[in-house]
Amino acid sequence: MTGRKPKRFIAFLWHRRIGLVAIILVIVLAITGIMLNHTEELKLDENYVESSLLLGWYGLEPEGEAISYDIGEHVITVLDQLVFFNSYPVTKTGQTFLGAVKAEQLIVLAFDTELVLLTHDGELVERMPTGHSFSDIQRIGIKYNRPVIETSDPLYYMADEHILDWDVIINEDISWAQKTTLNQTKMSVLLESFRGRGLTLERVVLDLHSGRLFGDYGTYLMDAAAVALLWLSCSGLWVWWSRRMTQKNKRHFQKHHR
């Protein structure tokens, strides 16, 4: 029958086990702490994250594809419910983007049951629900420099020059809005605008240091790492002190029992 293991040996085993578990988190705490102490030198607040994985984790990566319509020298795009005039956000929408045209006085954007009016400089003028005027919009075009709507009836309506009244017309000589594809440069600028350049490297490092990057319970994980570090310090000190006292007692015994 084996005897009981000494407390110092048990403490040493737990010291090693907890150390192996906590070492990764302790390393993260140490590295991120050093980085945060040198934010200005490392320019953490001036560098922005471009990783799709991290941007998605923070909810800054758009869902779905960009839908764009060329209106001459400008492009209207809807990306993840945000409406952009070139690369500048104008408004939000939860409806399907069906097209955009440049009329004599205003730019007209068509959605399922709504028209959005912009100035030629991209400023929001008005949002016009169409439920009381005609049925759901199918597409938008231009005729005589005036917007034309095709509805689900199907009927075709052309607005007056002030886009206040609509008259039924026949489907002739209408230039319908056509989708366009943004080139890589324009798409990069649009994505940068969508993200708002709001995710700095400093914020990521800070969230990693605090554990918030890991979700609701991430802070508790880092708290556990801090507690583990305290345990390692205390248990290591206790093991060292216990070993020193054992050696001291052993020398004392040998000195008086020769």
Would you state the structure tokens that stand for residue 54, as one six-digit string?
């991290």
pLDDT band at 198 (very low <50, low <70, confident <90, very high): low
pLDDT score of 170: 92
pLDDT digits (tens, 9 = 90+) for 49-88: 877 778 778 877 788 899 999 998 899 999 998 999 999 9
* Least confident stretch, 13-22, 27-36, 189-198: 13-22
Task: Count CB neighbours of 109 within 10 A.
Answer: 28
Pick from 49-53, 102-106, 159-163: least confident: 49-53
Domain with CATH 2.40.128 in the chain: 62-195
Q: Which of 42, 141, 143 is nearest to 98 (CA)?
A: 141
66: which 2 tokens?
């960009």
CA 130 to CA 149: how far, in whole Å?
Answer: 11
Q: How far apart are CA 62 and CA 52, in angstroms?
A: 10
- CATH classification for the domain delimited by 62-195, as one of 2.40.128, 3.40.1710, 3.30.1360, 1.10.260: 2.40.128
Residues 89, 99: Cα–Cα separation, whole Å: 17
What does residue 2 show for φ and ψ, rounded to 5 degrees?
-80, 150
- Taking the C-alpha atoms of residue 108 and residue 128, their distance in angstroms, rounded to an integer, is 10
What is the structure's pLDDT at 211? 80
Yes or no: say if 168 and 47 are a contact pair by the CB < 8 Å rule: no
d(CA 243, CA 16): 16
- Contact status, residue 213 vs residue 102, Cβ threshold 8 Å: no
Q: How far apart are the C-alpha atoms of 172 and 143, rounded to whole Å?
A: 9
Task: Give yes or no for a contact between 146 and 171, defined as CB atoms under 8 angstroms apart.
Answer: no
First to last CA, the chain: 32
List, in order, residues 6 or more apart from 84 with CB less than 8 Å away.
76, 77, 78, 90, 190, 193, 194
Q: Which of the four pLDDT bands, split at 50, 70 and 90, describes residue 210?
A: confident
The yes-or-no verdict on residue 232 having pLDDT over 50 is yes
Does residue 254 register a pLDDT over 60? Answer: no
Closest CA to 67 of 88, 96, 107: 96
